[in-house]
């Protein structure tokens, strides 16, 4: 779990620096690396958190989207990340937040 946590933290640093493209890449490396669906429990915790942060990274960009197509693409990506949490990590502490974000995004 240490490697997944470290990669997650790199994503958090990119997020804090407003480098959202890199943040999403780092979060995806946590989500799909480190054993993917066969990852040990300690890694799954970080996979779930990474998906949440990837979703947030997409949502942050929605306000600044230049076109409706860009906006819709960002919303779609956020929905995919939150859906990943709900479907792949149903016992995660992040599930409730993911469900709330999915509900809010469905109203856009």
33 pLDDT band, cuts 50/70/90, is very high
CATH 1.25.40.10 describes domain 2-106: yes
What is the per-residue pLDDT across 38-95, written as a single tens digit (0 to 9) for each?
A: 999 999 999 999 999 999 999 999 989 999 999 999 999 999 999 999 999 999 999 9
Q: How does DSSP classify residue 70?
A: H
In this prediction the pTM is: 0.95
CA dist 42 and 48 (Å) reads: 11
The pLDDT value recorded for residue 28 is: 98
Report whether 77 contacts 58 (CB < 8 A).
Answer: yes
User: For tokens 């016992």, what's the residue?
Assistant: 91
Instruction: Supply the pLDDT for residue 108.
Output: 85
Characterise 34 by phi-psi region: left (phi > 0), alpha (psi -120 to 50), beta (else): left
């Amino acid at each position: 779990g240490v490697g997944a946590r470290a990669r997650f933290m790199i994503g958090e640093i990119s997020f804090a620096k407003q480098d959202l493209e890199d943040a999403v890449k780092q979060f995806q490396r946590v989500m799909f690396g480190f054993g993917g669906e066969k990852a040990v429990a300690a890694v799954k915790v970080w996979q779930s958190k990474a998906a949440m942060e990837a979703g947030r990274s997409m949502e942050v960009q929605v306000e600044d989207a230049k076109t409706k197509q860009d906006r819709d693409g960002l919303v779609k990506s956020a929905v995919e990340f939150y859906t990943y949490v709900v479907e792949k990590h149903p016992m995660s502490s992040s599930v409730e937040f993911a469900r709330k974000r999915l509900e809010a995004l469905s109203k856009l």
